Copies of this chain bind each other. A is one copy, B any other.
């Protein structure tokens, strides 16, 4: 009950906090731009402008915004080269790479079920 636990296992409050944190991360990361950026990076290191070209249709603002978010969560590493003009490169960290496996899975899924989905959509729309 109210007694503090000294064991290694987390108490209820910890679990709740962990859950809300997990939920927060999930909500932030599970969006198309973040996924497309992660997918574009893959195992490469890319500059801001290169990323902008790779991720079809992303705006300057969305790219910076999502890169900040991913950097904040430690999914991408940002390396600034103090040259002129400046050169900023982004690379997936290990957690980022791990997430990429998931995103790759979703890409595979999309292509695998493309037929199913297109058919279902036609059926639904008609």
Kindly list chain B residues whose C-beta atoms are within 8 Å of the C-beta of A27: 32
| Smallest Cβ-Cβ distance to A36: which chain B residue | B26
Size of the chain A interface, CB-CB below 8 angstroms? 42
Contact A71 B124 (CB under 8 A): yes
Check A120 for interface membership: any CB of B closer than 8 A.
yes
Kindly list chain B residues whose C-beta atoms are within 8 Å of the C-beta of A23: 56
Docked complex Cα distance between A17 and B17 (Å)? 44
Contact A26 B98 (CB under 8 A): no
Chain A residues within 8 Å of B, Cβ to Cβ? 18, 21-23, 25-27, 29-32, 35-36, 56, 71-75, 95, 98-99, 101-102, 105-107, 109-114, 116-121, 123-125
